[in-house]
Amino acid sequence: MLAVPVVLGFLGAMTGMVSNDRRAAETDSKLIYRQNGITRLTHWVWAVAMFFLLLSGLQIFNARPNLYIGQQSGFGFDNSILDIYAANTPNGAAGQTKLFGHVFDTTGVLGMSGDPQQPNFVGFPDWATIPSYRDLATGRVVHFFFAWILVGTLAIWLIHALTTGHLWRDIILKPRDIVGLPKDIIDHIRLRFSHGKSYTPLQKVAYFGVFVIAFPLIILTGLTMSPGMDAAWPWLLELFGGRQTARTIHFITMVAFVLFFVVHIIMVVLANPINELRSMITGYYKTNVKHDSSGEAK
Please write the tens of the pLDDT for every residue from 57-84: 999 999 999 999 877 666 566 788 999 9
> Across-strand partners of 99?
82, 102
d(Cα 174, Cα 194) in Å, to the nearest integer? Answer: 19
Residue ranges of alpha helices (H) inside the chain are 3-25, 37-61, 136-164, 166, 175-189, 201-208, 215-224, 227-232, 235-240, 243-271, 273-281
Give all domains of the chain, ordered by start, each with its CATH number. Answer: 38-64+132-286 (1.20.950.20), 67-128 (no CATH)
Return the SS3 of 95: strand
* 73-112 confidence digits (pLDDT tens): 665 667 889 999 999 988 889 999 999 989 999 999 999 9
Asked if 139 and 131 touch (Cβ cutoff 8 Å), the reply is yes
Mean pLDDT of 189-203: 82
